[in-house]
Amino acid sequence: MPLGTSTGRWATLIENVNELVDDLPWPTTEMTRVVTAVAHGDLSQTMAAEVDGRPMQGQFLQIVTTMNTMVEQLKSFASEVTRVAREVGTEGKLGGQANVAGVDGIWKDLTENVNWKRSRPSTSCRSSPAPSSSPPTRWSSPTRTG
């Protein structure tokens, strides 16, 4: 809204309304930036809790807090799943547990399912022969031409 020839309280009111209108797109822009980063596998991005040196308040602060908590929980869950997979896949450890603090809903269910699966390896895993460093008995090398 143009300030025009307004002065005094009216000018202050117009400036405040203009500042509010300028600030309104910020949460949407920031949320879009963070959600896009998460969609591309980047869990290092979070929303800033202040704009131009002013701390977020009210609903804006709630959006920032919720978004940043969600990203932190995703990061924690991804880290634990990666750790558990590494222990089983490369180190051969069975029976460890994923530990993701502060999660609810589907994230808690997923964590419990990972832990349940880890505590009950499949029959095929339990009955598999121990890995061997020896080559198979019918070793064949690739055919070379020319």
**What pTM did the predictor assign?**
0.60
Structure tokens that stand for 7 in this block: 């002065």
Is 74:43 a contact under the CB 8 Å cutoff?
yes
In one-letter notation, the amino acid at residue 125 is C
How does residue 69 score in pLDDT terms, banded at 50, 70 and 90?
very high
pLDDT at 26: 83
For residue 54, the cross-strand partners are: 51
Q: Is the pLDDT of residue 27 over 70?
A: yes
Containing H/E element for 51?
strand 50-51
Q: Is the pLDDT of residue 58 over 80?
A: yes
Collect contacts of 116-125 with beta carbons under 8 A, ≥24 apart: 118/84, 118/88, 118/94, 119/95, 121/94, 125/94
Mean pLDDT score of the chain: 77
Q: Is the pLDDT of residue 14 over 50?
A: yes
